[in-house]
């Protein structure tokens, strides 16, 4: 059996933070200080190495350039390591996990993101268990292949598919959920993987796509939203894609003004996508009168994608320079396990 070798990629986040002496606000420290707090890492009977982004950040500052930095580290070390663990702030972890899932074509190794709600230096930190279990998951093999061959998030005893996850709790240790997809594994005394099938062999070459468009925006609807503000957004120069966060199963106001604005944006080539504000369930354009018109004018459905997945997918697809019709087709199709 291949001996596991795991690369930790430190990007910042609470797990590696310390309180500033003057303001008392938490800010990232270096990965050397972080490791000093988890001596247990040296007890794994396989290699665990660590690299850091040049400037560790609070994940609220995460941007596509960091996704590219992380992806390049993985790309350069892909053959050398059997699995990767990314230490990341929880605030935007679901966005990074979604973005990486789209960037990585034919991924056949585990890429596990984890972090914590309390810094590793705090006595009650959740970071120790999260990190050690994430390493164990990244190293887990069955029939000489990694059990997990995708981008996933490990947090507080559960492993979630990355592009199905969302942060829903800023207070409790259980911060994540994947409302439209079952958990991949649960850590108790043993780590239980829910797919008992032998891991698949993907013979195709691992490819990394590095381009994202930032010519996208989202509009969260609410009763009483000002149409003239929507008009201003939809008339932005260079705007290529919009996620409309709708009500329930994809419903929206159907007054002439609102529908007219969407229609003229679509006519100008702007791709308008419908994603529900509800965490669980799916957009179903046509179920109600308040959504059938959206379907008719060419708004495309985000089905049951999380917002994080939908926006990063749109940024990714437009970033590839595909035609509008290809972006629309792929957006509605399951390309990395993100919908359905
Ligand atoms: N603000 C922190 C971050 O996302 C929160 C965390 O790590 O949990 O970097």
What is the reported pTM?
0.97
Residues 129-159: tens digit of each pLDDT? 999 999 999 999 999 999 999 999 999 999 9
Q: What is the pLDDT of residue 36?
A: 87
pLDDT at 99 over 70: yes
For residue 273, what are the domain limits?
Answer: 216-331
Inside any domain, residue 339: no
Q: What is the pLDDT of residue 34?
A: 84
C-alpha distance from residue 188 to each of 154, 167, 193, 328, 333 (Å): 13, 22, 11, 42, 35
* Ligand 1 pocket check for 13: Cβ under 6 Å: yes
Q: What is the pLDDT of residue 1?
A: 61
Q: What is the pLDDT of residue 32?
A: 84
Range 193-198 contact pairs with CB under 8 angstroms and sequence separation of 24 or more: 193/140, 193/147, 193/148, 198/142, 198/143, 198/145
Kindly report the protein residue whose alpha carbon is nearest to atom 1 of ligand 1.
58
Q: Is there a single domain that holds both residue 26 and residue 83? A: yes
Of these residues, 11, 14, 114, 306, which one is catalytic? 14
Any idea which residue has 């919908």 for tokens? 339
* Ligand 1 pocket check for 91: Cβ under 6 Å: yes
* Ligand 1 pocket check for 306: Cβ under 6 Å: no
Kindly report the protein residue whose alpha carbon is nearest to atom 8 of ligand 1.
90
Split into its structural domains, the chain has a count of: 2
Q: Is there a single domain that holds both residue 145 and residue 235? A: no
* Ligand 1 pocket check for 115: Cβ under 6 Å: yes
Q: Is there a single domain that holds both residue 11 and residue 78? A: yes
CATH number at residue 79: 3.40.50.1170
Q: What is the mean pLDDT of residues 272-286?
A: 97
Q: Is there a single domain that holds both residue 49 and residue 96? A: yes
Inside any domain, residue 96: yes
Residue of 147, 63, 75, 140 lying closest to 105 (CA atoms): 75
Q: Is there a single domain that holds both residue 183 and residue 221? A: no
pLDDT at 82 over 70: yes
Residue 93 CA: which ligand 1 atom is closest?
Answer: 4
Inside any domain, residue 325: yes
DSSP string spanning 214-242?
--EEEEE--TT--HHHHHHHHT-TT--EE
* Ligand 1 pocket check for 125: Cβ under 6 Å: no
Cβ atoms within 10 Å of 227's Cβ, excluding its own: 14
Q: Which of 12, 13, 126 to probe ligand 1 with, by most ligand atoms within 8 A of CB?
A: 13
Inside any domain, residue 15: yes
Q: Is 14 a catalytic residue?
A: yes
Q: What angle do CA 93, 281, 311 make, to 5 degrees?
A: 40
């Amino acid at each position: 059996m291949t001996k596991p070798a795991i690369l930790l990629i430190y990007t910042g986040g609470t797990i590696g933070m310390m309180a500033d002496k003057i303001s008392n606000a938490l800010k990232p420290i270096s990965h050397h200080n972080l490791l000093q707090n988890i001596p247990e890492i040296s007890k794994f009977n396989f290699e665990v190495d660590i690299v850091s982004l040049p400037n560790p950040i609070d994940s609220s500052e995460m941007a596509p350039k960091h996704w590219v930095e992380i992806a390049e580290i993985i790309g350069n070390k892909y053959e050398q390591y059997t699995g990767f663990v990314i230490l990341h702030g929880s605030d935007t972890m679901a966005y990074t996990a979604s973005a990486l899932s789209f960037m990585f074509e034919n991924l056949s190794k585990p890429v596990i993101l984890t972090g914590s709600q309390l810094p590793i230096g705090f006595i009650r930190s959740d970071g120790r268990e999260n990190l050690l279990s994430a390493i164990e998951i990244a190293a887990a093999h069955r029939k000489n292949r990694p059990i997990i061959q995708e981008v996933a998030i490990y947090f507080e005893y559960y492993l979630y598919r990355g592009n199905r996850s969302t942060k829903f709790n800023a207070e409790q240790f259980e911060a994540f959920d994947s409302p439209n997809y079952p958990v991949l594994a649960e850590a108790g005394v043993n780590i239980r993987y829910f797919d008992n099938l032998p891991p698949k062999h993907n013979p195709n070459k691992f490819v990394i796509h590095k381009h994202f468009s930032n010519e996208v925006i989202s509009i969260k609807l609410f009763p009483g939203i000002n149409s003239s503000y929507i008009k201003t957004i939809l008339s932005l120069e260079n705007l290529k894609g919009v996620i409309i966060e709708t009500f329930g199963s994809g419903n929206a106001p159907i007054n002439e003004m609102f529908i007219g604005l969407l229609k003229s944006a679509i006519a100008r080539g702007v791709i308008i996508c419908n994603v529900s504000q509800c965490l669980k369930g799916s957009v179903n354009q046509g179920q109600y009168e308040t959504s059938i018109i959206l379907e008719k004018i060419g708004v495309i459905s985000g089905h049951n994608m999380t917002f994080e997945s939908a926006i990063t997918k749109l940024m990714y697809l437009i970033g590839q320079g595909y035609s509008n019709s290809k972006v629309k087709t792929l957006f509605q199709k399951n390309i990395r396990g993100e919908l359905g």
